[in-house]
Each structure stands twice: as structure tokens, then as C-alpha cells.
Amino acid sequence: MLFFLSRMLARFGVLKSWATPVVVIVFVFVTSWPLMALTEPGSELAQPGNYWWYFVVTAATVGYGDFYPQSPAGHVVGAYVIVGGIVTLTTVFTKMASVLEQARGRRMQGSGSITTSGHFVVIGYTTGRTERLVTELLAEDGNEVVLCTWEDSAVHPMPERPVGFVRGEVTEDAVLRRAGVDRARAVLVDARDDNEALAIALAVDHVSTSPHVVVALRDMGRASLLHYVGEHIRCVQWHTPRMITEELASPGITEVYAELMTYGGANTYMVTLPESLGPVLVDQCRTALGRRHGATMLAARSGGRLIVNPDWQTELPPGSVLYYISPCMLTTEQITEALRVTPRA
């Protein structure tokens, strides 16, 4: 009977859906109950309050033994229930395996859609380079990354990492929306060349609601063109991956770096602490430079070791080198005078 049932369901395509186990188990229950009542007349097993329990434990192949048929014909009906339960469980497990395999296939092929929000979207893939970018973004707990690549990326290039994957024409709205660009925390355009980067940035600006889009450019002269697309777009030199990830995580940091390294305003300088001062605290140096000359201490080199943003209570021996940012270079005499009038904390 189960064979004919499965053939009938297959003909109507029911075996391809979750309705199959429900149909099978209901069919077995409805047909086995009257059969059990006929083969076990007067038995407690066939009573409505008991049979459903017997049916569940028997179909699940648990078999507690509190109720069981005693006649040969009742044993046959019991075997029918057992087989029906096995068919149902097999159908459920097969369907679950199929669903999991399809989900894995969609993830590997990049044909699915991303449902998360507040994530980073990296558009473009370059072997080795993209892995480094993704590793740095994932280094901070809670960050989620989605990789969006072109059609020629046949499968997920980083399946071992917790990275979403979307594949398609990256300048199409539908593909960008599948990658969650419209819900992203920040978007990185890391294209194969600057012309492609401009095209992708234009498409992203149309879809994205994120105030932060970073474009990696080989020729920074193209940055002026991207400013016409949107003022929120930041351009970073393509060959500085570390700076790219810093800009993604901390918007505006590249502008700070640029100001530190350019002329026309404050610049970075160094000075060696004279022997006559003896050991001084970082607290003294920062206070003296800031109050007397409007300068900011960035780092110190002591004993051949560079210390960036040193602790305020670090003691610097004579001959240590200070690195600072200031509107102009300070002489050793100016710094010596400032340190002598600045008390230790």
C-alpha cells in the first residue's frame, strides 16, 4: 500500500514538498486505526485515547511496549505502522538534506540574497589582496562582511570564512541589493581598474543609503571625478590595503593621515632631547609642547625602540627622540626651555 501511495504522490509532485511526510503519516494513521480495531476487537489498544499514543511511539520506532497488538493480524497492522513511520522519517530527513544542500549551493554560487544589515560590502575580488582586506575587517568582533564579485567568479573564493557571497553584474541594482548594499554599514569598491571603479561607484551611489563609500583608486587624480558622484565617497590609494580597511572602519581617518603628511599647515618634525635635561616624563613633553608651542607629541624613540602614543608616565632618558606635529619646526633651545618650566606631574 505504501508503494502505491508513494507512486501516487510522485505523480502529483507532492514528494518534492514538505507536505509529503504529513500526507504519508495521516494516511497511515487513518487506515491503520480501523484495521487495528478490526483485528483487536475489545482491546484497550484500539481505544481512541490509547491508539494515538501507540501510533506515535510505534511510527517513531521507539516502542515503549505499554500497548501492543496480540493477534497475528494485529502484528501485521503494527508492522504497517512501523514501515509508515520509517517512510515518513526518511522523507523528512531527505527533504532536510535537500534544503541544506540547496542553501549551501546558493552560498557557494553566490545566487542567494543577504538578509543582514550593518555589514561591510566588498565589491571586487583579487586573489590574496581581498583575503587580506577581509581578514582585517573580521579581526574586530561583530563585523560581518559580504563579498560581491563578477560573474567570472564561479564559486565562493573564501568558503572557509564567515563571509557572505553574491555573484553577478556588480553595476546592476538587483545584484547590489542582493549583497545588501542598501543596508550596509560601509561599502568598498575594489575594482580591476579605475574606469570600472567609477562605474561601480555610480551604481552603488544609486542604491546605497550608507553615508560611507570607499573607492580604491590606482590614480588618485580620478578622485575629483568621484566627488561629482557624491561628497560622501572617500578615495584611497589602491596599494595601501591597511589604510583602506582603516577608512572603512573609521570614516575620515585617511583625511587625517593626508593632513599629517601634507604641507601648507601643520607638519611633522623630530627633535632629540639634550643630555642637560636628564630623564623627562612623556607627560612633561606633551604638556610643554602643547601649552608653549601648540604642538602635539605623536611618538618617541628610546633605546632604538619606537613608541607611538606613549603612556603619559613613561620616562624618556636623555638622547631620546621626540616626533611631533606643529605649525613650524621647534629648535632644541625652545623645547629645552619649555621642558624646564614645566613641572613633573
CATH number at residue 49: 1.10.287.70
Locate cell 542553501: which residue? 103
**Residue 303 and residue 174 in one domain:** no
**Residue 211 and residue 335 in one domain:** no
**Residue 151 and residue 58 in one domain:** no
What would you measure as the largest C-alpha separation in the chain, in angstroms?
113
Q: Answer yes or no: is 113 within a domain.
A: no
**Residue 253 and residue 279 in one domain:** no
Q: Answer yes or no: is 115 within a domain.
A: no
- The domain boundary, picked from 46, 81, 108, lies at 108
* Rounded alpha-carbon distances, angstroms, from residue 114 to 119, 130, 163, 165, 253: 10, 19, 11, 8, 28
Distance in angstroms (rounded) separating the CA atoms of residues 230 and 203: 11
Give the CATH number of the domain where residue 183 resides: 3.40.50.720
Q: Which domain holds residue 16?
A: 2-108
Element (H, E) at 99: helix 72-109
**Residue 22 and residue 62 in one domain:** yes
Which residue spans within 94-176 are E strands per DSSP?
120-123, 145-149, 163-167
Distance in angstroms (rounded) separating the CA atoms of residues 332 and 264: 23
- The domain boundary, picked from 240, 261, 282, lies at 261
Q: Answer yes or no: is 345 within a domain.
A: no
- The domain boundary, picked from 243, 261, 279, lies at 261
Q: Answer yes or no: is 214 within a domain.
A: yes
Q: What is the pLDDT of residue 177?
A: 94
Q: What is the pLDDT of residue 193?
A: 94
Q: What is the pLDDT of residue 15?
A: 47
**Residue 136 and residue 240 in one domain:** yes
Give the CATH number of the domain where residue 322 resides: 3.30.70.1450
- Residue 122 contacts residue 145 (beta carbons within 8 Å): yes
Structural domains counted in the chain: 3
* Rounded alpha-carbon distances, angstroms, from residue 117 to 114, 120, 164: 8, 9, 12
DSSP 8-class letter at 26:
H
**Residue 16 and residue 130 in one domain:** no
Q: What is the pLDDT along the chain (345 residues), one digit of tens a residue?
A: 445 545 555 554 444 567 777 887 888 888 888 888 888 888 888 888 888 888 888 888 787 888 888 888 888 988 888 888 888 777 777 777 766 666 665 566 677 888 889 999 999 999 999 999 999 999 888 899 999 999 887 788 888 889 999 999 999 999 999 999 999 999 999 999 999 999 999 999 999 877 799 999 999 988 888 888 877 899 999 999 999 999 998 888 887 777 766 655 568 888 999 888 889 999 999 999 998 888 889 999 988 889 999 999 999 999 999 999 888 888 888 988 888 887 766
Amino acid at 175: V
**Residue 131 and residue 249 in one domain:** yes
- Residue 218 contacts residue 190 (beta carbons within 8 Å): no
| Global model pTM greater than 0.75 | no
**Residue 244 and residue 287 in one domain:** no
Instruction: Return all residues near 62 (Cβ < 8 A) that are at least 6 apart.
Output: none
**Residue 26 and residue 96 in one domain:** yes
